[in-house]
Amino acid sequence: MDTTSSLTTIAEDCLEAAHAHAQRDGYPYLTPDYLLLGLANDTQSVAHLALLECNVDISLLNSRLSGHPPLTRTVTGGLPQASRRMLRVIELARDIADDFEHLSITTGDLLIAVAEEGTSTAARLLAELGCTGDKIRSCSALERQGDREHERKSRIPTLHSLPLWAFPPPDERGAPLHMSLALGETDRGALAITELTVYDTGVLLSLTAQCAAGETFSDPAFGVGEATTDPRTIVFAVHLSTGGTAALLPVDPTWDVLTPPLPEPPTSGITLVSMPPAPLATSSYAHRRIDTLWWLWPLPPKGMHTIVTRWEAAGIITSVPLDGSLLRAAKDNLPPRLFGESSYSV
Protein backbone atom coordinates (compact mmCIF):
# COMPACT_ATOMS: atom_id res chain seq x y z
CA MET A 1 0.00 0.00 0.00
CA ASP A 2 1.62 3.29 -1.13
CA THR A 3 0.91 6.16 1.24
CA THR A 4 3.90 8.34 0.39
CA SER A 5 2.12 10.59 -2.08
CA SER A 6 -0.97 11.89 -0.27
CA LEU A 7 -2.67 13.13 2.86
CA THR A 8 -6.38 13.15 3.49
CA THR A 9 -7.91 16.55 2.85
CA ILE A 10 -8.37 17.21 6.57
CA ALA A 11 -4.76 16.18 7.23
CA GLU A 12 -3.73 18.73 4.59
CA ASP A 13 -5.75 21.37 6.42
CA CYS A 14 -4.06 20.51 9.72
CA LEU A 15 -0.64 20.74 8.08
CA GLU A 16 -1.54 24.16 6.67
CA ALA A 17 -2.68 25.27 10.12
CA ALA A 18 0.66 24.08 11.53
CA HIS A 19 2.47 26.18 8.92
CA ALA A 20 0.34 29.16 9.95
CA HIS A 21 1.22 28.67 13.64
CA ALA A 22 4.93 28.57 12.81
CA GLN A 23 4.69 31.65 10.61
CA ARG A 24 2.77 33.52 13.28
CA ASP A 25 5.66 32.84 15.67
CA GLY A 26 8.18 33.78 12.98
CA TYR A 27 9.80 30.35 13.30
CA PRO A 28 11.55 28.99 10.17
CA TYR A 29 10.89 25.29 10.87
CA LEU A 30 7.74 23.20 10.95
CA THR A 31 7.98 21.03 14.08
CA PRO A 32 5.82 18.28 15.65
CA ASP A 33 4.72 20.86 18.25
CA TYR A 34 3.10 23.00 15.56
CA LEU A 35 1.63 19.91 13.91
CA LEU A 36 0.01 18.86 17.20
CA LEU A 37 -1.51 22.34 17.51
CA GLY A 38 -2.98 21.94 14.03
CA LEU A 39 -4.31 18.45 14.74
CA ALA A 40 -5.77 19.26 18.16
CA ASN A 41 -7.68 22.35 17.08
CA ASP A 42 -9.33 21.01 13.93
CA THR A 43 -12.67 19.90 15.35
CA GLN A 44 -13.47 17.89 12.21
CA SER A 45 -10.32 15.81 12.42
CA VAL A 46 -10.09 12.27 13.75
CA ALA A 47 -7.06 13.39 15.77
CA HIS A 48 -9.17 15.93 17.66
CA LEU A 49 -11.82 13.28 18.44
CA ALA A 50 -9.14 10.81 19.53
CA LEU A 51 -7.60 13.36 21.91
CA LEU A 52 -11.00 13.98 23.48
CA GLU A 53 -11.53 10.22 23.77
CA CYS A 54 -8.18 10.01 25.57
CA ASN A 55 -9.47 12.67 28.02
CA VAL A 56 -6.98 15.28 26.82
CA ASP A 57 -7.96 18.85 27.70
CA ILE A 58 -7.41 20.70 24.39
CA SER A 59 -7.21 24.11 26.07
CA LEU A 60 -4.56 22.77 28.47
CA LEU A 61 -2.64 21.24 25.57
CA ASN A 62 -2.74 24.57 23.71
CA SER A 63 -1.54 26.40 26.80
CA ARG A 64 1.33 23.99 27.40
CA LEU A 65 2.51 24.07 23.79
CA SER A 66 2.24 27.84 23.68
CA GLY A 67 4.32 27.97 26.82
CA HIS A 68 7.22 26.19 25.09
CA PRO A 69 7.76 28.16 21.85
CA PRO A 70 10.88 27.00 19.98
CA LEU A 71 12.07 30.57 19.39
CA THR A 72 15.79 29.99 18.96
CA ARG A 73 15.71 31.85 15.67
CA THR A 74 13.05 34.16 14.31
CA VAL A 75 12.38 35.17 10.74
CA THR A 76 9.37 36.39 8.83
CA GLY A 77 8.17 35.52 5.37
CA GLY A 78 8.46 32.30 3.43
CA LEU A 79 7.14 28.89 4.35
CA PRO A 80 8.62 27.09 7.35
CA GLN A 81 10.67 24.05 6.39
CA ALA A 82 10.16 20.65 8.03
CA SER A 83 12.52 20.01 10.95
CA ARG A 84 14.32 16.67 11.33
CA ARG A 85 11.82 15.58 13.98
CA MET A 86 8.98 16.56 11.66
CA LEU A 87 10.44 14.51 8.81
CA ARG A 88 10.66 11.57 11.21
CA VAL A 89 6.99 12.04 12.13
CA ILE A 90 6.04 11.97 8.43
CA GLU A 91 7.99 8.74 7.90
CA LEU A 92 6.34 7.14 10.93
CA ALA A 93 2.89 8.29 9.75
CA ARG A 94 3.47 6.61 6.39
CA ASP A 95 4.27 3.31 8.11
CA ILE A 96 1.27 3.67 10.42
CA ALA A 97 -1.02 4.36 7.44
CA ASP A 98 0.32 1.20 5.80
CA ASP A 99 -0.49 -0.78 8.96
CA PHE A 100 -4.06 0.52 8.92
CA GLU A 101 -4.26 -0.02 5.12
CA HIS A 102 -5.21 3.62 4.60
CA LEU A 103 -5.11 4.99 1.08
CA SER A 104 -3.81 8.31 2.46
CA ILE A 105 -2.18 9.54 5.66
CA THR A 106 -4.90 10.59 8.13
CA THR A 107 -4.80 12.94 11.09
CA GLY A 108 -5.03 9.86 13.30
CA ASP A 109 -1.90 8.46 11.68
CA LEU A 110 -0.13 11.78 12.24
CA LEU A 111 -1.22 11.95 15.88
CA ILE A 112 0.09 8.45 16.59
CA ALA A 113 3.33 9.35 14.82
CA VAL A 114 3.77 12.49 16.95
CA ALA A 115 3.26 10.42 20.11
CA GLU A 116 5.59 7.61 19.02
CA GLU A 117 8.38 9.86 17.69
CA GLY A 118 9.10 10.39 21.37
CA THR A 119 11.65 13.24 21.47
CA SER A 120 9.67 16.41 20.72
CA THR A 121 7.95 18.64 23.26
CA ALA A 122 4.65 17.51 21.74
CA ALA A 123 5.49 13.82 22.25
CA ARG A 124 6.57 14.37 25.85
CA LEU A 125 3.41 16.37 26.57
CA LEU A 126 1.17 13.64 25.12
CA ALA A 127 2.98 11.05 27.24
CA GLU A 128 2.53 13.21 30.34
CA LEU A 129 -1.20 13.43 29.59
CA GLY A 130 -1.39 9.66 29.21
CA CYS A 131 -2.04 9.84 25.48
CA THR A 132 0.30 7.13 24.17
CA GLY A 133 0.44 5.69 20.67
CA ASP A 134 -1.20 2.46 21.85
CA LYS A 135 -4.02 4.36 23.58
CA ILE A 136 -4.68 6.41 20.45
CA ARG A 137 -4.75 3.25 18.32
CA SER A 138 -7.51 1.82 20.53
CA CYS A 139 -9.80 4.85 20.12
CA SER A 140 -13.11 4.24 18.38
CA ALA A 141 -12.62 7.55 16.58
CA LEU A 142 -10.00 5.88 14.38
CA GLU A 143 -12.55 3.51 12.81
CA ARG A 144 -13.10 4.26 9.10
CA GLN A 145 -11.00 7.42 9.51
CA GLY A 146 -9.63 7.22 5.98
CA ASP A 147 -13.14 7.48 4.53
CA ARG A 148 -14.27 10.24 6.91
CA GLU A 149 -11.29 12.46 6.30
CA HIS A 150 -11.64 12.66 2.53
CA GLU A 151 -14.50 15.11 2.97
CA ARG A 152 -13.20 18.40 1.56
CA LYS A 153 -13.29 21.49 3.76
CA SER A 154 -12.66 25.06 2.66
CA ARG A 155 -11.64 26.84 5.87
CA ILE A 156 -8.31 28.01 4.45
CA PRO A 157 -6.78 27.90 0.95
CA THR A 158 -4.59 24.95 0.09
CA LEU A 159 -0.84 25.49 -0.06
CA HIS A 160 -0.98 23.88 -3.51
CA SER A 161 -2.35 27.20 -4.79
CA LEU A 162 0.77 29.16 -3.88
CA PRO A 163 2.77 30.17 -6.97
CA LEU A 164 6.35 28.99 -7.35
CA TRP A 165 7.64 32.49 -8.03
CA ALA A 166 6.57 33.63 -4.55
CA PHE A 167 7.77 30.83 -2.24
CA PRO A 168 9.78 27.61 -2.13
CA PRO A 169 7.59 24.56 -2.86
CA PRO A 170 6.26 23.40 0.53
CA ASP A 171 6.43 19.74 -0.54
CA GLU A 172 10.22 19.93 -1.07
CA ARG A 173 12.89 19.52 1.58
CA GLY A 174 15.43 21.46 -0.44
CA ALA A 175 19.17 20.81 -0.72
CA PRO A 176 21.12 22.99 1.73
CA LEU A 177 24.54 24.14 0.57
CA HIS A 178 26.82 23.76 3.55
CA MET A 179 28.48 27.10 3.12
CA SER A 180 28.14 30.71 4.19
CA LEU A 181 29.22 33.88 2.44
CA ALA A 182 30.78 36.69 4.48
CA LEU A 183 29.60 39.87 2.75
CA GLY A 184 31.45 42.40 4.88
CA GLU A 185 32.50 43.30 8.42
CA THR A 186 33.55 46.58 10.05
CA ASP A 187 33.65 47.93 13.60
CA ARG A 188 29.99 48.99 13.12
CA GLY A 189 28.47 45.75 11.88
CA ALA A 190 28.65 42.64 9.73
CA LEU A 191 26.69 41.11 6.85
CA ALA A 192 26.62 37.46 5.76
CA ILE A 193 24.62 34.94 3.78
CA THR A 194 24.20 32.34 6.53
CA GLU A 195 22.14 29.77 4.61
CA LEU A 196 21.56 28.80 0.98
CA THR A 197 18.99 26.11 0.20
CA VAL A 198 18.38 25.00 -3.38
CA TYR A 199 14.96 23.86 -4.59
CA ASP A 200 13.74 22.62 -7.93
CA THR A 201 12.47 26.09 -8.80
CA GLY A 202 14.86 28.48 -7.05
CA VAL A 203 17.20 29.16 -4.16
CA LEU A 204 16.37 30.45 -0.67
CA LEU A 205 18.98 32.77 0.86
CA SER A 206 19.15 33.88 4.50
CA LEU A 207 20.78 37.29 4.91
CA THR A 208 21.99 38.11 8.42
CA ALA A 209 22.91 41.60 9.63
CA GLN A 210 24.72 41.98 12.96
CA CYS A 211 25.36 45.26 14.77
CA ALA A 212 28.52 45.78 16.79
CA ALA A 213 28.28 46.10 20.58
CA GLY A 214 26.63 49.38 21.49
CA GLU A 215 24.74 49.53 18.19
CA THR A 216 21.12 48.43 17.68
CA PHE A 217 18.51 48.09 14.97
CA SER A 218 16.13 50.29 16.90
CA ASP A 219 14.39 51.14 13.66
CA PRO A 220 15.35 48.28 11.33
CA ALA A 221 14.73 48.69 7.61
CA PHE A 222 15.97 46.51 4.79
CA GLY A 223 16.24 48.03 1.35
CA VAL A 224 14.32 46.61 -1.56
CA GLY A 225 16.06 48.59 -4.27
CA GLU A 226 19.20 50.56 -4.96
CA ALA A 227 17.43 53.93 -5.14
CA THR A 228 17.73 54.85 -1.46
CA THR A 229 19.44 57.71 0.36
CA ASP A 230 18.99 56.35 3.90
CA PRO A 231 22.45 55.12 5.10
CA ARG A 232 20.76 52.76 7.62
CA THR A 233 19.07 50.84 4.83
CA ILE A 234 20.72 47.60 3.76
CA VAL A 235 20.55 47.17 0.01
CA PHE A 236 20.71 43.62 -1.31
CA ALA A 237 20.84 42.63 -4.98
CA VAL A 238 21.87 39.77 -7.26
CA HIS A 239 23.60 40.70 -10.51
CA LEU A 240 23.30 37.93 -13.10
CA SER A 241 26.08 36.53 -15.26
CA THR A 242 23.82 36.98 -18.29
CA GLY A 243 23.54 40.72 -17.62
CA GLY A 244 21.04 42.68 -15.61
CA THR A 245 19.85 42.34 -12.04
CA ALA A 246 17.24 40.08 -10.49
CA ALA A 247 14.05 42.11 -10.20
CA LEU A 248 13.25 42.92 -6.55
CA LEU A 249 9.71 42.10 -5.50
CA PRO A 250 8.89 43.20 -1.92
CA VAL A 251 6.18 41.35 -0.01
CA ASP A 252 3.77 43.37 2.13
CA PRO A 253 4.73 42.66 5.79
CA THR A 254 1.04 42.54 6.72
CA TRP A 255 0.23 39.89 4.09
CA ASP A 256 -0.55 36.37 5.30
CA VAL A 257 0.52 33.71 2.79
CA LEU A 258 -2.65 31.73 3.49
CA THR A 259 -4.93 34.69 2.81
CA PRO A 260 -5.67 35.81 -0.78
CA PRO A 261 -5.04 37.83 -2.82
CA LEU A 262 -1.52 36.93 -3.90
CA PRO A 263 0.96 39.69 -4.85
CA GLU A 264 1.20 40.54 -8.51
CA PRO A 265 3.48 38.04 -10.30
CA PRO A 266 6.67 39.13 -12.07
CA THR A 267 6.34 39.74 -15.79
CA SER A 268 9.58 38.05 -16.87
CA GLY A 269 13.17 37.31 -15.94
CA ILE A 270 14.66 36.27 -12.59
CA THR A 271 13.00 37.66 -9.48
CA LEU A 272 14.33 38.26 -5.95
CA VAL A 273 11.41 38.17 -3.51
CA SER A 274 12.25 40.00 -0.30
CA MET A 275 10.61 39.18 3.01
CA PRO A 276 10.31 41.72 5.87
CA PRO A 277 12.93 41.43 8.64
CA ALA A 278 12.46 40.61 12.32
CA PRO A 279 14.91 40.83 15.24
CA LEU A 280 16.04 37.57 16.81
CA ALA A 281 14.07 36.78 19.96
CA THR A 282 17.11 36.10 22.15
CA SER A 283 18.34 38.29 24.97
CA SER A 284 21.98 38.45 23.90
CA TYR A 285 21.13 39.62 20.40
CA ALA A 286 18.01 41.69 21.09
CA HIS A 287 17.83 44.46 18.48
CA ARG A 288 21.39 43.72 17.36
CA ARG A 289 20.75 41.05 14.74
CA ILE A 290 18.27 40.72 11.89
CA ASP A 291 17.64 37.71 9.64
CA THR A 292 15.73 37.99 6.38
CA LEU A 293 14.81 35.40 3.78
CA TRP A 294 15.14 36.04 0.06
CA TRP A 295 13.68 33.78 -2.64
CA LEU A 296 15.57 33.86 -5.96
CA TRP A 297 13.28 32.53 -8.71
CA PRO A 298 13.70 30.75 -11.04
CA LEU A 299 17.00 29.03 -10.33
CA PRO A 300 19.73 31.08 -12.04
CA PRO A 301 21.65 29.47 -14.92
CA LYS A 302 25.23 28.25 -14.72
CA GLY A 303 27.73 31.07 -14.59
CA MET A 304 29.27 33.38 -12.02
CA HIS A 305 26.63 35.69 -10.57
CA THR A 306 27.34 38.44 -8.04
CA ILE A 307 25.69 39.27 -4.72
CA VAL A 308 25.93 43.00 -4.11
CA THR A 309 25.28 44.59 -0.72
CA ARG A 310 25.47 48.14 0.56
CA TRP A 311 25.08 49.20 4.20
CA GLU A 312 26.50 52.69 4.37
CA ALA A 313 25.83 53.20 8.09
CA ALA A 314 28.15 50.26 8.84
CA GLY A 315 30.64 51.19 6.13
CA ILE A 316 29.96 48.05 4.08
CA ILE A 317 29.83 48.21 0.30
CA THR A 318 30.83 44.89 -1.20
CA SER A 319 30.18 42.17 -3.76
CA VAL A 320 30.84 38.41 -3.65
CA PRO A 321 30.51 35.72 -6.35
CA LEU A 322 27.65 33.21 -6.42
CA ASP A 323 28.48 30.19 -8.57
CA GLY A 324 25.44 29.14 -10.59
CA SER A 325 27.08 25.78 -11.35
CA LEU A 326 26.95 24.88 -7.64
CA LEU A 327 23.26 25.75 -7.52
CA ARG A 328 22.50 23.61 -10.57
CA ALA A 329 24.52 20.69 -9.21
CA ALA A 330 22.54 20.85 -5.95
CA LYS A 331 19.28 20.81 -7.93
CA ASP A 332 20.36 17.58 -9.63
CA ASN A 333 20.70 15.93 -6.20
CA LEU A 334 17.51 17.06 -4.46
CA PRO A 335 16.11 14.69 -1.79
CA PRO A 336 12.72 13.05 -2.48
CA ARG A 337 9.64 15.22 -2.15
CA LEU A 338 7.70 15.01 1.09
CA PHE A 339 4.43 13.92 -0.51
CA GLY A 340 5.25 12.60 -3.96
CA GLU A 341 4.92 14.56 -7.20
CA SER A 342 4.24 18.28 -6.96
CA SER A 343 1.13 19.99 -8.26
CA TYR A 344 2.08 23.55 -7.45
CA SER A 345 1.27 26.25 -9.95
CA VAL A 346 3.80 28.39 -11.73
Report pLDDT digits (tens) over 288-307.
777 778 889 889 999 999 99
Main-chain phi, psi angles of 128, to 5 degrees:
-65, -35
Per-residue confidence (pLDDT) for residue 149, from 0 to 100: 56
- Report d(CA 262, CA 267) in Å as an integer: 15
pLDDT band at residue 162, thresholds of 50, 70 and 90? low
Closest CA to 289 of 199, 345, 201, 206: 206
At the top level of CATH, which class does the domain 9-156 belong to? mainly alpha
Q: Decide if pLDDT at 101 tops 60.
A: yes
Q: What is the pLDDT of residue 333?
A: 86
* Residue 40 vs residue 212, higher pLDDT: 40
Contact 41, 62 (CB under 8 A): yes
User: Which class in CATH covers the domain with range 175-331?
Assistant: mainly beta
Confidence (pLDDT) at 267: 60
Q: Where are the alpha helices (DSSP H) in the chain?
A: 9-25, 32-40, 46-53, 58-66, 84-100, 107-117, 121-128, 133-137, 145-148, 324-331
The pLDDT, as a whole number, for residue 167 is 75
pLDDT of residue 132: 92
pLDDT tier for residue 277 given thresholds of 50, 70 and 90: very low
Report pTM.
Answer: 0.52
Does residue 53 carry a pLDDT above 80? Answer: yes
DSSP label at residue 137: H
pLDDT tens figures, 113-156: 999 998 888 999 999 999 999 999 988 777 656 555 554 333 33
Say whether pLDDT at 25 is over 60.
yes
What pLDDT is attached to residue 69?
A: 45
Q: What is the mean pLDDT of residues 275-282?
A: 41
Do you find a cis peptide bond into 261, omega within 30 degrees of 0?
yes
Q: What is the pLDDT of residue 271?
A: 82
What pLDDT, on the 0 to 100 scale, is given for residue 342?
43
More confident of the two residues 65 and 141: 65
Residue-averaged pLDDT of the chain: 75
> Is 175-331 in the same CATH topology as 9-156?
no
**Cβ contacts of 243 within 8 Å, gap of 6 or more:** none
Give the burial string for 267-302 (b: 16+ CB within 10 Å, else e): eeebbbbbbbbbbbeeeeeeebbbbbbbbbbbbbee
Residue of higher predicted confidence among 285 and 195: 195
Q: What are the structural domain ranges in the chain?
A: 9-156, 175-331
Give the model's confidence band at 266: pLDDT under 50 very low, under 70 low, under 90 confident, else very high.
Answer: low
pLDDT recorded at residue 103: 79
Query: 234 or 240: whose pLDDT is higher?
Result: 240
The pLDDT confidence band at residue 110, using thresholds 50, 70 and 90, is very high
3 — pLDDT class (breaks 50, 70, 90): very low
- The arithmetic mean of pLDDT across residues 246-263, rounded, is 58
- DSSP codes, 42-66: -TTSHHHHHHHHTT--HHHHHHHHH
Of 276, 311, 309, 290, give the one whose Cα is nearest residue 217: 290
pLDDT for position 281? 32
* Sign of the CA dihedral with 131 first, then 136, 83, and 118 last: positive
Residue 319: band (very low, low, confident or very high) from pLDDT cuts 50, 70, 90: very high
Average pLDDT over residues 39-60: 88
Interatomic CA distance for residues 278 and 111, integer angstroms? 32
